[in-house]
Every structure is written in C-alpha cells, then in structure tokens.
Amino acid sequence: MNKLGFRAHDLGSFDTVINFISEMDNKSCPHIIQFAPTKLFKNITHISETKESWITSTSKSFQEANIEVSVLGCYINPLNTEKEYRTKVINDFKTSLEIAKYFNNSVVATETGTNKNSLQLNLGEEKRLNNFWNFLEKVIPIAQKNNATIAIEPVADHTICSFKKIDQMLTYFKCDNLKLIYDPVNFLPYKDNELVPEFQKQQFIEFFEKYNSLISIIHLKDFNIVEKQKNGYLSLFSGRFNIEDFIFTLKKYNNQSPLLLENVNIPDIKNIIYKLQSLLN
C-alpha cells in the first residue's frame, strides 16, 4: 500500500517547529510530509546557512511527533547564470543532500528550471541542457558520498519536460543516485486539446512503463483549463485530472511510491485522503 502524505508548506509558513506540529494536529493532517525548510519556516532563507543545532533539533521534534519526511524539497532554478545566485542555490542543494539522513530520508527533490523564471536569462535549448548537466555533475558526487538520492521532477515547459529529455538525462548520467519524482499534472502539456482523459491515460501508461523502478515520490493535485491552457494548481478531486485511470495504472505496475498531495485544500484533507484510499483499495 502506498503511504499518503502532503506538502507541508501547504499548511502555511511558521515561526517554529512546535507551531507547525500543533497546526498539523489541529487540522488532522497526515504525518507523512514533503519538507521544504525554506518554505515551511519563516526564518530559513538558505538551508546551507542553517546551524547544525537547528537541523538536529528539528529532526528530534519530528521524530517525537512521529512525522515522516518522505522527501526533502530543495526546489531551485539550476539554470540561473547569475554567479552569486547560482553558487548559493547549488550550495543549498548540496547541504540538503548532506542533511537528508538527519530526517531518516535519502530523497532530495528539485525541478529543472524554466526561461519563465524572472531570474533566468532567455537561454536556448542546448545551453539550458548544458547548464543542467553541469548542475548534476556538481551534486551527484555529494549524493553518492552521503548515500542520498537526487529526485528530478520533469515539468512541461521546463528543461526536463518530455520523455525524450528524461531519456537524455538518464543516458547521460548512469547513476543509481539519480531518480524521478512523478507529478502527472505537472508533466501534462499545457494545451487544452492534449488534456483529454484518453491522452492523460496514455501518458500515465508510458511513464510507468518506462520509469516505474525510478520513481521515488508521486505528487498528486488537479488542474482546470483557463483560456485554453492548463491551470495545474488545484486540490485533488476538484478539476479534470483523470485520477481513476492514474490509480488504475499505478496499481497495474505495482508502484508503491509515497503519494503526496500538493495544493491541497487543507480543510478538506481528511475527505480527500479517504477518497484516495478508496481508489487504492
């Protein structure tokens, strides 16, 4: 059975760990989380600048509250060519790989950058890929040293945005420490004529057929269509995502990855998890 959890900062941003844990319990949230420190805590700007005492204290608080960190989120733009910014975010990612073990977890996740980011120059495809390969070349040795996993999330319109680009990455880096996060809504294209249920189903099948053993985490949310474009920021069961066929395909391939809700409507989280469990059973 897949573990069910959620993205912790969907609950908000907090001053202390205790405040976060208290709010989790007040809202009856599952104790399995995606933990992005810079998004969950107001006083953390760069994880590479945090003290070891804070990391160990936070880890202890999570353990005492029976909170399981399924993935450590360090979502950066690895393409950025501004030297100071790039150095900081790469250091953040390296630090995340080093501290993952404190949270009894080995998975550190990021997306792969987009030209739409205001900090990103308008690079061509080849330059973007080269910059991303350069990023992976810097962080894979850190993952190997710390027995950690780099989980790359492919997203439509990002650097790694298609089956072809995923295959390029996995061919270029034959590494046991490099895995995938599968966010089926993020991976779907943006044009409305490609978002029909049958197209979604075919994409689910192809992704699991090609990468089932490489999936570390699965994100679940929903989408609607606004002005003929995908708007993928909705809570699960509130839009056009073909969740029934997705779960059918997940079960067909016997994928046991944790399922983490994103953009979740917190007041409805118990009902969403109940409906999801019903599909899984």
Rounded distance between C-alpha atoms, residue 225 and residue 85, angstroms: 34
Decide the pairing of beta strands 32-35 and 107-110.
unpaired
Does residue 79 contact residue 128 with C-beta atoms inside 8 Å?
Answer: yes
Can you tell me the distance from the alpha carbon of 155 to that of 102, in angstroms, rounded to the nearest whole number?
Answer: 29
Asked if 187 and 220 count as a contact pair (C-beta separation under 8 A), the reply is: no
136-143: long-range contacts at Cβ-Cβ below 8 A with a sequence spacing of 24 or more? 136/169, 136/173, 136/178, 138/90, 138/94, 139/90, 139/93, 139/94, 139/97, 140/173, 140/175, 140/177, 140/178, 142/94, 142/97, 142/98, 143/97, 143/108, 143/177, 143/178
Residue 118, pLDDT score: 44
Residue 116 pLDDT: 56
The reported pLDDT for the residue numbered 126 is 83
Report the DSSP beta bridge partners of residue 260.
5, 219
| Regions of the chain with pLDDT less than 50 | 117-120
**Rounded-to-integer distance, Cα 29 and Cα 267, Å:** 9
Q: What is the pLDDT of residue 1?
A: 85
Cross-strand partners of 69? 33
pLDDT for 123:
61
Domains in the chain, CATH or no CATH each: 4-280 (3.20.20.150)
Other C-beta atoms within 10 Å of 113: how many?
23
The string of DSSP codes covering 151-211 is EE---TTSSS-SHHHHHHHHHH---TTEEEEE-HHHHS-SBGGG-SHHHHHHHHHHHHHHH
User: If we measure between CA atoms, which residue out of 90, 95, 96, 55 comes closest to residue 76?
Assistant: 90
Question: Which residue in 46, 36, 154 sits closest to 90, CA to CA?
Answer: 46
The pLDDT of residue 122:
59
Strand partners, 179: 151
Give the burial string for 220-235 (b: 16+ CB within 10 Å, else e). bbbbeeeeeebebebb
CB-based burial, 27-60: b 16+ in 10 Å, e otherwise: eebbebbbbbbbbbbeebeebbebeeeebeebbe
Q: What is the pLDDT of residues 54-67, one digit of tens each?
A: 999 999 999 999 99
- Predicted pLDDT at 128: 84
Q: What is the pLDDT of residue 31?
A: 96
